[in-house]
Structure 1
Amino acid sequence: MSTYPNVTETKELIKQLVSIPSPSGYTSRAIQFVEDFLKDLHVETKRNNKGGLIATLPGENDKKHRLLTAHVDTLGAMVKEVKKNGRLRLDLIGGFRYNSIEGEYCEIHTSNGKTYTGTILMHQTSVHVYKNAGDAKRNQENMEVRLDAKVKNADDIRELGIEVGDFVSFDPRVQLTDNGFIKSRHLDDKASVGIILQLIKRLKEENITLPHTTHFLISNNEEIGYGGNSNITPETIEYLAVDMGAIGDGQSTDEYTVSICVKDASGPYHYELRKHLVELAKQHNVEYKLDIYPYYGSDASAAIRAGHDIVHGLIGPGIDSSHAFERTHEDSLKATENLLYYYVQSEMLSI
């Protein structure tokens, strides 16, 4: 039997995932990576019409199903305007602030398949020229992309094939530290995608038959609100979103435990499922924290809003500085992997 969790392997997998550009709407490469990973494990998968991926592990009970989801789409941007000064104006994809991408390296993905690099900067960057360089607002009006190309005007840019609507991805700047941290953009939610892939791999390696048929949805539109609100089988009773736990003032979530969400902006998560997850954590000595995320929604809450009659829950690794320069620790990855491992082997709630 393999040692689990193999957190070094998990971190390397997350590193590969965050290095694949996949802002919402531009996720085909990341989905293909996940599909290839699962194909090597001989796991049945299918694509939905939205471009997400669904993997299924048959269980002893095929009348009551479970569904777990994590999302491979990330924050990003689109080209809003090809500016006369030879730079690009952005329109953001997902909920974050312009100040969190100031100075970031980026890539522009054109519709003809070419990729160009650039840097996201304030128009008024040079303190030798602009007196208000530090005071100007970080917003769409003032921030722009400086292309790494010889361009002086909008015509030069268009000659490269860059146009309004091209996707812009951010350099993840991923690093694995010697003391167990992984810091990178897009740990929301590629940390959870890596965890789910490792979970499936272990279940296959250990030849475990689950008590219930279990689906794993790798969604691709969560950051814009509707990644996991469809393709839920009528037999699905329990729906567990695996997404980041948010850290900040007033929060109990940290980078070293699994976070179990009790409520977010959509309202409370299912009480009995939450209690079941807590009982499993206690029974198997998995370190956890209960928390409320005030400005947060998940694929599970999107499924509830879509009208699905399901029991919904949310857990995940604690992620510091969410939607900015994110970081977590291998302890949190291990705790989340372990809780999922025991959860999918547990008996379903009696509702």
Structure 2
Amino acid sequence: MRRLKIDTSYLQRMLAALLAIPSPTGYTDEIVHRVSHELRSLGLVIELTRRGAIRARLEGAKRRPARSICAHLDTLGAQVKLLKPNGRLELVPIGHWSSRFAEGARTVIYSEHGTYRGTILPLKASGHTYDGEIDTQPVGWEYVELRVDAMAKSRRDLERLGIAIGDIVAIEPQPEFLENGFIVSRHLDDKAGVAVMLAALEAILREGLSPAVDTYWLFSIAEEVGVGASSLLAPEIASMIAVDNGTTAPGQASDEFGVTIAMADQTGPFDWHLTRKLVRLCQDHDIRFQRDVFRYYRSDSASAIEAGADVRTALITFGVDGSHGYERIHMHSLRSLAELITAYVTSPVEIARDALELAPLKGFTHQPMDEATLSRSADAILEETEDPEPRLSE
């Protein structure tokens, strides 16, 4: 199978459109509508959970063992914790991110009486007043406050505006798409992953290709708070590839170019067979890639496994510099990810036994244990261990 051409103009347009829709965890309805509309325009039938997570199915030659690709629609944000006597707002974060990256952020406050704009500032924000103390004050959410761009000099003023404890605060992304391919913005985690999935799907449909098996395109709405894809998997799904960010920091192998295939995160190793299949697909299709291990990281796949899903999991990422802050990525990585997704979706099933949720030992996979086995190809090992197409119960 040749490497499919990805429409990077479409990918960039989708990413820009997604970034323009605020979607902190707990406030994702509008982005769910936008992505659902796009999936429908591509010809897919969609299903939504009660809270709005999306599951769309691309029909394949066979129903099982179905595959799935997953990214999350929600982003970091904040919530009003307290109306302060000085007319400003104390905040708590939505998701795990440092107040260091919140200082100076422009925001939108969603109250039941309308929206207000504002800026997150350190408690000591003026050098003309505090001199060197602005550099020595501690870092933490208790040391920042939200200045509302409205007449608010007291708690009563805030109440009069209709602002209340618990109101959602969205952080402005301030995206920049540079001519050299770099993209700088907040919330590239994981709106870039969503755009990549849509671009891969568009390429498959444009070329008129059909997957080997049914493929589900999953979009979760609470990954940043640890919920992820826990309620999205259908029983026939045997594998799930999460699409998310990989951190390009000292001590990490991730890169802003090509695909970064995660071999493990803080929850442990990803599936041995699935990750190595992805490596082989990169090699076979001349897609630049690198491997990495993330120690302080979990993705949609972790929540699915913790919820009891018996699926093979993997994580493929775009390298991002400054994760959970002002993030930077490159279009080369996004295109490479979309190419890998198309290669995977259109590739043949290698472990036919995965079509059954429970099956006898015969046909179960092997992992190499000695030098002689290591020297043999993975295809040869699978060929001698797989059964013919298993019969499915009604």
Q: TM-score, normalised by structure 1?
A: 0.97
2:314 corresponds to: 313
Instruction: Check conservation: 1:74, 1:188, Cα contact below 8 A.
Output: yes
1:179-258 alignment to 2 at 5 Å? Answer: 179-258=180-259
Partner of 1:125: 125
**Contiguous gaps of at least 5 residues in structure 2:** 352-364, 366-394
Secondary structure at the counterpart of residue 129 of structure 1: helix
Note if contact 1:11-1:182 (Cα within 8 Å) is conserved in structure 2. no
5+ unaligned residues in a row in structure 1: which ranges?
Answer: none
166-175 or 223-232, larger mean C-alpha shift: 223-232
Q: Which amino acid aligns with 1:275?
A: R
CA shift at 1:121, angstroms? Answer: 0.1
Q: What displacement does 1:349 show?
A: 3.4
Cα shift at 1:203:
1.8
Give the counterpart letter for 2:150 in structure 1: A
Q: In the TM superposition, what is the alpha-carbon distance from 1:16 to its structure 2 partner? A: 1.3
Residues 278-311 of structure 1: CA deviation (Å, up to 9, x unaligned): 0000000000010001100011111111111111
In structure 1, what is the equivalent of residue 53 of structure 2? Answer: 52
Task: State the shift of 1:181 in Å.
Answer: 0.6
Quote the Cα distance in structure 1 between the aligned partners of 2:187 and 2:258. Answer: 19
RMSD: 1.4
Contact 1:110/1:163 (<8 A) preserved: yes
CA offsets per residue over residues 63-93 of structure 1, 9 Å max, x none? 2111110001000000011111000010001
Opposite residue 12 of structure 1, the aligned amino acid is: R
Corresponding letter in the other structure for 1:307: G
Could you say which residue in structure 1 is the equivalent of 2:115?
115
Cα contact 1:273–1:349 (8 A) shared by 2: no
Shift of 1:111: 2.7
Structure 2 CA distance, aligned partners of 1:50 and 1:289? Answer: 36
Which range moved further: 50-59 or 165-174? 50-59
Larger mean CA deviation between 256-265 and 9-18 belongs to 9-18
Aligned amino acid, residue 309 of structure 1 = D
- Between 1:85-94 and 1:205-214, the stretch displaced more is 205-214
Correspondence list, 1:1-351, <5 A: 4-112=5-113, 114-131=114-131, 132-350=133-351, 351=365
User: Displacement of 1:124 after TM fit?
Assistant: 0.7
What amino acid maps onto 1:118 in structure 2?
Answer: G
Which secondary structure state, in structure 2, belongs to the residue aligned with residue 168 of structure 1?
A: strand
* Most deviating of 10-19 and 176-185: 10-19
1:179 and 1:260 map into 2 onto residues whose CA distance is: 24
SS of structure 1 residue aligned to 2:128 = coil
Instruction: Please tell me whether Structure 1 or Structure 2 has the larger radius of gyration of its CA atoms.
Output: 2
Residue by residue over 1:100-129, the C-alpha shift from the partner in whole angstroms, topping out at 9 and shown as x without a partner, is: 1111111101134x1110000011111122
| Paired residue total | 350
After superposition, the C-alpha distances for 1:243-300 in whole angstroms (9 at most, x for unaligned) are 1111101111110111100011000001111110000000000000100011000111
Indicate the percent of aligned positions where both proteins have the same amino acid: 36
The two structures have a TM-score, normalised by structure 2, of 0.87
**Structure 1 residue 141 displacement after superposition:** 2.0
SS of equivalent residue, structure 1 residue 333 = helix
SS of corresponding position for 1:244:
strand
**Cα separation, 2, equivalents of 1:111 and 1:247:** 40
Higher mean C-alpha deviation, range 201-210 or range 76-85: 201-210
